[in-house]
A = this chain, B = another copy of it.
Amino acid sequence: MTDTLQSGRNRIQWAKAHMPIVAALGQEFAKTRPFEGLTLGICLHVEAKTGVWLEALTKGGANVVITGSPGTTQDDTAEAIRADYGVQVLGHRNETFDDHIEQCRQVLRAKPQLLSDNGADLHSLLFSEEEFADQIPQVIGATEETTTGATRLRELAPQQSFPTLVINDTQAKRIVENRYGVGSSVVDGIMRATNVMLHGKRVAVIGYGYCGSGVAMRLRGMGAHVTVVEQDPLIRLEAHMEGFPTEDLEPAIGDADMVVTVTGYDGIITREHFPLLKHGVILANAGHFATEMELDYLRSEATQVRRIREQVEAFEFRGKTLYLLSGGNLVNLAAGDGNPVEIMDLGLALQALSLAAMAKNAREYANAPQPVPRGIEMQVARLAVDHWIRKGLS
């Protein structure tokens, strides 16, 4: 056995040990064979958690072709997936974006009846390239991981001829991933990036939605003194009742040892705000876009910018030093280790059951992007209760 094969298998084993829902679905699919005779064309990060999911799909009879996201493929995991589950895995770590697009085409050339997409890459080629015109009617259903992908879809093919279930828009993911998963992985990312102690740190958390409230609670759970900034008065009131001092943006950041943005909007911390910050402040972003802070401005105005730790840049700006984590990118993903395994157990279970539902009877669904039906969401929640809570690990 090669070293890389073993290494890939190790990764998958570790992931599987913490993905009891997808593992259980695999056992069930081995009996019910929902994908018998069907080809699945997939575009998703090729890493260990995906490996566990691919095992489940193939146990269910699926013939699978997958390409990873550009440049994120774990080569050892890919090798194990090929060797152990008979899946055709396209791509590798050092591929270019053009390679990626070509691999997406190869996925479509395998004539899949079901698509599992991420950012609408497969859908978009399917609907836009001549080569795949005949392919469209053969597709019976699809899933799309992201909300952004779903928006893109609605513009691309206003009258698409099959249903696409959008995984991200579920209450289950909002709670498990946004509130709890992000909350803890942001804490993890900040600790790794900085090695500072959170106890006693004054942290301004900007935004108290699903993610922001999770971040605020976990930072508090680590002994930080959190102040919440939130522009919606009703949500601000909620933070206040929950025990968080709330403030308007300017006083809050002027008093902070650390500022974490989690709003999903551009231009939260702008050129007007940088001069208010304290010497030595740490800036981190956990919202979707690095543009929550006006970093271009900061970068151009700073008299010096130095990388002082792997994930920390020091900006000399008007006589103060400001420290930026992970270049303003999502600090939990950039400085940490990505989403915890359990989040993907839940998300990939939603994927697996959505695909199985369409394999069984795609005609029940409208031919358009749409949320995962409540029935499937509840089924996954029930499985989480069974496997995460009732059975524990064993």
Partner of A13, one of B191, B257, B314, B381: B314
**Contact status B180-A381, CB under 8 Å:** no
A196 interface residue, CB < 8 Å from B? yes
**Contact status A200-B240, CB under 8 Å:** yes
Residues A393 and B10 in contact in the complex (CB < 8 Å), given A17-B321, A223-B180, A381-B237 = no
Partner of A385, one of B233, B281, B320, B342: B233
A23 to chain B, nearest CB (A): 11
Q: How far is the CA of A318 from the CA of B38 in the complex (A)?
A: 40
**Contact status A192-B199, CB under 8 Å:** no
A382 interface residue, CB < 8 Å from B? yes
Partner of A238, one of B175, B278, B320: B175
Say which one of A83-91, A131-139, A147-155, A241-249 lies at the interface with B.
A241-249
**Contact status B10-A306, CB under 8 Å:** yes
**Contact status A241-B175, CB under 8 Å:** yes
**Contact status A384-B192, CB under 8 Å:** no
Q: How far is the CA of A42 from the CA of B152 in the complex (A)?
A: 53
**Contact status B196-A241, CB under 8 Å:** no
Q: How far is the CA of A171 from the CA of B381 in the complex (A)?
A: 25
**Contact status A392-B278, CB under 8 Å:** yes
Closest to A226 in B: B243
Partner of A184, one of B176, B191, B320, B337: B191
- We find that the number of chain A residues with CB closer than 8 angstroms to chain B is 79
Residues A195 and B236 in contact in the complex (CB < 8 Å), given A223-B184, A243-B225, A278-B394 = no
A302 interface residue, CB < 8 Å from B? no
Say which one of A214-222, A351-359, A364-372 lies at the interface with B.
A214-222
Closest to A346 in B: B237
Copies in the complex: 4
A202 interface residue, CB < 8 Å from B? yes
Which of A's residues lie within 8 Å of B, judged by CB? 10-11, 13-14, 17-18, 171-172, 175-176, 179-181, 184-185, 187-188, 191-192, 195-200, 202, 218, 220-225, 232-234, 236-238, 240-246, 255, 257, 278-281, 306-309, 312, 314, 320-321, 323, 336-338, 340-343, 377-378, 381-382, 384-385, 388-389, 392-394
Q: How far is the CA of A375 from the CA of B389 in the complex (A)?
A: 41
27 contacts between A and B (CB under 8 A): A14-B309, A18-B280, A172-B234, A176-B241, A179-B241, A180-B197, A184-B222, A188-B191, A191-B337, A195-B340, A197-B341, A197-B342, A199-B342, A200-B243, A218-B223, A223-B241, A232-B381, A233-B385, A234-B378, A234-B381, A236-B389, A237-B381, A237-B384, A237-B388, A255-B392, A278-B392, A320-B394
Q: Which residues of B contact A225 (CB under 8 A)?
A: 243-245
Q: Which residues of B contact A392 (CB under 8 A)?
A: 202, 255, 257, 278
Q: Which residues of B contact A200 (CB under 8 A)?
A: 240-241, 243, 388-389
Residues A281 and B393 in contact in the complex (CB < 8 Å), given A17-B321, A340-B197 = yes
Partner of A388, one of B172, B240, B321: B240
Q: How far is the CA of A175 from the CA of B233 in the complex (A)?
A: 12
Closest to A243 in B: B223
